A and B are shown apart, each in its own frame.
Chain A
Amino acid sequence: MLEIKDLHVSVDGKEIIRGLNLEIRRGEMHSIMGPNGSGKSTLAQVLAGRDSYEVTGGEMIFDGKDLLDLYPEERACEGIFLAFQYPVEIPGVANTYLLREALNSVRKYRGEKPLKHVEFGKLAKEKMKVLNIGDDLLKRAVNEGFSGGEKKRNEIFQMQILEPKLAVLDETDSGLDIDALKIVAEGVNHLRSPKRSFLVITHYQRLLNYIVPDFVHVLVDGRIVKSGGKELALELEDKGYGWVEDGTEAAVNN
């Protein structure tokens, strides 16, 4: 479904991602872990199409399409969804309005009819239950004055509505207490299916107790230095990132 080959990304002339390879097949749950500054969030933003990040080499193929040829909105319509680490506040735009516009834009891209107000309302109601979201959150301006937990829940709620093929979760666990974390995880698990893939980016292993990955990758200095199964996350938690970082140093020195 997604194939990233030898990806190089620079920000303001500084190379952040330095030859990253990753393949995600349909239905798989991947997790990328890594220390601060390793390039995790850069990868998430680049997948979504942020143009302030310059891809200087390599390729990203999603369902046979070269992502570099697609605008952010086209990537979303193709089925990529990014749950932001820092969801943006947009004063004056109602949450429900944005989401209906988004869904109908995606439907139009797929050649489907737009949903009417009532139909959208029904769909939203259904999804809200899973995430324990109240009506007021829908009516309020997008993310404006939301608590940290509300913002993250809102991201997952948007994901539920847009039903992407590939969901990228960028540190969705940061700033969440354990109850909020469980709700968010439940929302994600609810969407797991053989047709849908996930890339969960996180600093801590904690989230992976609730969202259990098939594969764990460790990102250090813009490269994946180690990959394994879910047990790799526990090992990292136990030994710290120093363990793999030392490993790379050793490898280079040898």
Chain B
Amino acid sequence: MSITLTTNENGYLDGFDKFREIAPGKDIDWLMSLRESAIARFSELGFPTVHNEDWRFTNVTPIARTTFQMPENVSGKVKPDVLSQFTFPGIDCSRLVFIDGLFSSELSSIRQLPNGVKALSLSQALTKDQELLSERLGKYVDFDEDAFSALNSAFFQDGGFIFVPKGTQFEDPVHLLYVTTNSKSSPAITNPRNLIVVEDNCEANIIEHYVCLTDGGAYLSNVVTELILGQNSTVGHYLIENESKDAYNISTLRVQQERSSNMRSHSVLIGGALVRNNVHPVLAGEGCDSLINGLFMSSGRQHMDNYMKVEHASPHCDSRQFYNGILDGRSRGVFHGRIIVHEDAQKTDAKQTNRNLLLSDTAQIDTKPQLEIYADDVKCTHGATIGQIDENALFYIRSRGISEEASKDIILNAFTNETLESMNIEAVKRYSESLAADWFARRQHAHNG
């Protein structure tokens, strides 16, 4: 059955009526009522407009105007060898592969995991781990004010479910690889939904990775990830977004942190025509640490919007936002850094830094700090810079015998490394560096050619 989603008339509601007949977990009451309330909310909200303060700088009309097809069974569509380009040399991690949003068991590989650790698709978990899911799924992300999260909650078909029981430590990340095989004639919509539950005293790492196998054509990846950190747990979360040039990627990472947990989030945004990266950690327990780190690189007419919402809900928590952007061509970037310090969250130490390099006269960045502080004993700082390549540094390097382009590369690499160097997993760091290097090479090629 093919399901079409469109804003024409009642397209999304009609689509949902069809979808509910085939939806994963269609017989599970709590899940269906979640989906029902989500579609109801979505149809009330509609897609956001630039009149909505949270979307002031990002116009999603192209998404609202597109008629999307929900993906159907795609087994056998992708050969395993084409996926080798999306691996991380040097680490042997478990990998869950989703083709057009649907889990592919033949392309996935699960390594030996520590006792009790689960890494499976959400659709599988709906039969095997329903109890765990019912306690957690949808409990953190709030779709009341967010149409895209509502859309995801109504229509998600699959995603990754990772469960790490108390006291488990394993460093090799679980890799969630989302591959879109788009055809230009029918734009696809996928709603990946990830649930990551890490109990107390654990250490774990997760990579979310979004790629496309074809070069052009619009499609939408509308992602929601809920990540829960138990007490004293440390989790590294890596988002690597390298969609194709016409793609839309809207991604929401909602993090719940219990006491003394330590979350390290890294986003690397390279691809896509229109990208929105929402990161929303809630530091719910005392003494949490949160690192919200990112690198975005845009060119052509790309639009990359980073919306941070860091919520301090308990005392003695530290958060660090550190985002670097490099913008070329006619691309546009947004950094919206919101910090909310609740009344009880005394001794909060929150810091936000956003640095941007504009490589062309026509690139544009909007950077906006937004501090909402309801406690009186807190330390909150923010800083943003927008600049071009430092002419003094460029001349200095050239005066040592290095060509202008190579000198620029050295400066740009240093800039990207500022954020990448805080990645703890060397293989992911190297992979990200190579994405950045490819970007520089493409840029040079465009300038020389």
Contacts and interface: CB of A to CB of B under 8 A. Distances in A.
A99 B400 CA distance: 8
A103 B402 CA distance: 9
A78 to B, nearest CB: 9
Contact of B418 (A48, A77, A91, A109): A91
Interface in A25-54: 48-50, 52
Interface string A88-106: 1111110000110111011
Interface string A234-252: 0000000000000000000
A72 B402 CA distance: 9
Contacts of A87: 396
Interface residues of B, number: 23
B399 interface: yes
B430 interface: no
Given A98-B400, A109-B401, A92 B415 contact: yes
Interface string B390-403: 11110111111111
A77 B398 contact: no
A73 B403 contact: yes
B396 A105 contact: no
Contacts of B413: 92-93
A91 B410 contact: no
A76 B398 contact: yes
B404 A84 contact: no
B9 to A, nearest CB: 53
Interface residues on A, range: 20 to 34
Given A91-B418, A92-B415, A98 B401 contact: no
Nearest to B409: A101
A73 B395 CA distance: 9
Contacts of A90: 393, 396-397, 410-411, 414
B401 A76 contact: yes
Given A77-B401, A93-B414, A109-B401, A88 B406 contact: no
Interface of chain B: mostly helix, strand, loop or mixed: helix
B417 interface: yes
Contacts of B414: 90-93, 141
Nearest to A50: B395
A141 B392 CA distance: 16
A73 B396 contact: no
A72 B398 contact: yes
B399 A106 contact: no
Given A48-B399, A71-B404, A93 B410 contact: yes
Contacts of B398: 49, 71-73, 76
Contacts of A75: 399
A102 B401 contact: yes
Nearest to B414: A92
A130 B269 CA distance: 46
Contacts of A52: 391
Contact of A73 (B390, B393, B401, B415): B401
A52 B393 CA distance: 14
Contacts of B410: 90, 93, 98, 101
Nearest to A77: B401
Interface in B341-397: 390-393, 395-397
Given A76-B398, A93-B414, A101-B410, A88 B403 contact: no
A82 interface: yes
Contacts of A102: 397, 400-402
Contacts of A91: 414, 418
A88 B392 contact: yes
Interface of A: 48-50, 52, 71-73, 75-77, 81-82, 84, 87-93, 98-99, 101-103, 105-106, 109, 141, 158, 162
9 shortest interchain CB distances as A-B pairs: A92-B414, A76-B401, A102-B400, A88-B396, A72-B398, A106-B401, A105-B401, A73-B398, A93-B414
Given A73-B401, A76-B401, A102-B397, 13 more contacts: A49-B395, A52-B391, A72-B395, A73-B400, A82-B399, A84-B396, A88-B392, A88-B395, A90-B393, A90-B397, A90-B410, A91-B414, A101-B410
